[in-house]
Amino acid sequence: MIEKSAKYFTEKLVSKKLVRNEDRDIYQYGIEVLLSTAINIMLLLVIGIITKTVLLSICHFLILATVRTLTGGYHTSTYLKCEIVGCVTYITIVLCLEKVTQIFCVSNWLIVCSLMGIITLINFGVANKRAVIGKELKRLKKKVILREMIWIVIVVLIGDKKVKGGIFLSFFSVFLFMVIGTKKDERRD
């Protein structure tokens, strides 16, 4: 559906001469990503409204947008599978919130998020070794560190234990997808 819609919109842009024919694939991919992201945001917000975790659904999306986009990891083969895995991941986070908030006290959140950041950074170098090299990898690592530090500050400032727990679980899901992606890549080699 997303591919067909993106192709349709791209064809319209080309036919109206707003896009050059040789740039068709680039625009089509961009429109696919835009549509997929919009659907992802809407699904997370709907689940957030149903589960009364709207703020957490926004935080979860922002973690995916600010950290996961740089760290890489497992990716599904279709947009539909991606949306399903994304929804199942978020629903799992919501279902685990109660237990996670019981296990950890507020003072532990900073330590836990810091450890998740370090683990993500260590794995990031391994998970993306084929994608980027040298100076580019160093630049991306700095971006990841900065973004994770911002999230740690947010965790400290947020008073809601469930949102803090959800942020931790969102980082944990990023870490898990990195590990799964790394293992999948190793099997391919």
pLDDT digits (tens, 9 = 90+) for 26-39: 999 999 989 999 99
- Average pLDDT of the residues in 99-113: 65
> Residue 117: its pLDDT value, please?
63
Tell me: pLDDT of 18 over 80.
yes
Task: With beta carbons less than 8 A apart as the criterion, state whether 170 and 66 touch.
Answer: no
Task: Identify the top-confidence range among 8-22, 72-86, 106-120.
Answer: 8-22
Instruction: Confirm whether 103 is domain-assigned.
Output: yes
Residue 33 lies in a domain: no
- Give me the mean pLDDT over the 149-177 stretch: 81
**Confidence band, pLDDT 50/70/90 cuts, at residue 111:** low
CB proximity list for 147: less than 8 A, separation 6 or greater: 66, 67, 70
Query: What is the number of domains present in the chain?
Result: 1
> Dihedrals φ, ψ of 3, to 5°?
-60, -45
Residue 163 maps to a domain: yes
Could you list the residue range(s) of the whole structural domain that residue 134 is in? 53-186
Q: Kindly state whether residue 42 falls inside one of the protein's structural domains.
A: no
Higher-pLDDT residue of 3 and 179 is: 3
Alpha helices in the chain (DSSP H): 2-15, 24-50, 54-63, 69-71, 79-103, 106-127, 134-157, 161-188
